[in-house]
Amino acid sequence: MSDGRSSNVVWHEGTVNRARREALNGHHSVCLWFTGLSGAGKSTVAHAVEERLHGLGCRTYVFDGDNVRHGLCGDLGFSREDRAENLRRIAEMVKLFLDAGVIALTAFISPFRADRERVRKIVGPDDFIEIYCRCPLEVCERRDVKGLYARARRGEIPEFTGISSPYEPPESPDLILDTAEQPLEECVEAVLGVLEARGVVARARPRIVRTRGAGA
C-alpha cells in the first residue's frame, strides 16, 4: 500500500503558521475522532459538539463519513483496502485543517485498530483525541433509519461492519460515550470536558453576534 507521498516535492512553510492562526482564533486546533458502529450516534454527537463550540466562537469543521464519499473519496468502495485509503485521505485532510487552526471533528466507523493507529500517526498523537461511541449492535439496528442493517442481513451489502465485517473497539480511547444510555447533552458535556482538560478551549459565555435592526 502506498504511503500517499509524492516524490520530488518539498513542503513550503508560510510565515502565517499554525500558532499564529490558533492565537487569532483564540483556541487550539485538535482532531476529535468519533468511532463506533453505524447508528452508534457518531455524527449526532459530533454535530452537537460543533454547535456548542461554534457558540463559543470556535473555528470548527465536521468530516462526516457519508459526506466525504460524495467527493474526496467518491472513487472508493468498502473493501478493506478502500476503507484504509479512505481514512488515510481523511487523516491528511484533517492534518491540514489543524494547521489552519481549526478543531476538526470526524465521524467514521473506522472499524480497524490498525487504520485508526495509522490516522493517529499521520495527525500526530498529541492532536488526536479518540472517542468511542459505544452502543450495542441491537440498539444500532433499531436506530437504522437508512435500512442499511436490514439490507446487510439480506446479503445486499457486502462487508458491512457489525454484520459481515468486524468492528474492533478501541483498547484505550481517550473517552468512551455509552450512547445507548447517556443523553446527548451528557455526551456533549463529556467531550467539552476533555477539551477543557487539555487546554484546547476555555468555556465562557457564548459569543453574541449583533446585527443591525430596530433601534440600532
Active site residues: 110
Name the residue among 128, 99, 129, 123 with its Cα closest to residue 22: 99
Cα–Cα dist 199/51, whole Å: 19
Contacts of 98 (CB under 8 A, 6+ apart): 18, 29, 30, 31, 104, 123, 124, 127
35 neighbors 171 (Cβ within 8 angstroms): no
CA 5 vs CA 8, 10, 89: distances in Å: 10, 11, 11
Residue 34 bridge partners (DSSP): 107, 131
3-state helix, strand, coil in the chain (%, to 5): 40, 15, 45
Phi-psi region of 124 (alpha: psi -120 to 50; beta: other; left: phi over 0): left
Q: Name the packing angle between helices 184-197 and 42-55 (round to 10°).
A: 60
**Collapsed DSSP state (helix, strand, coil) of residue 147:** coil
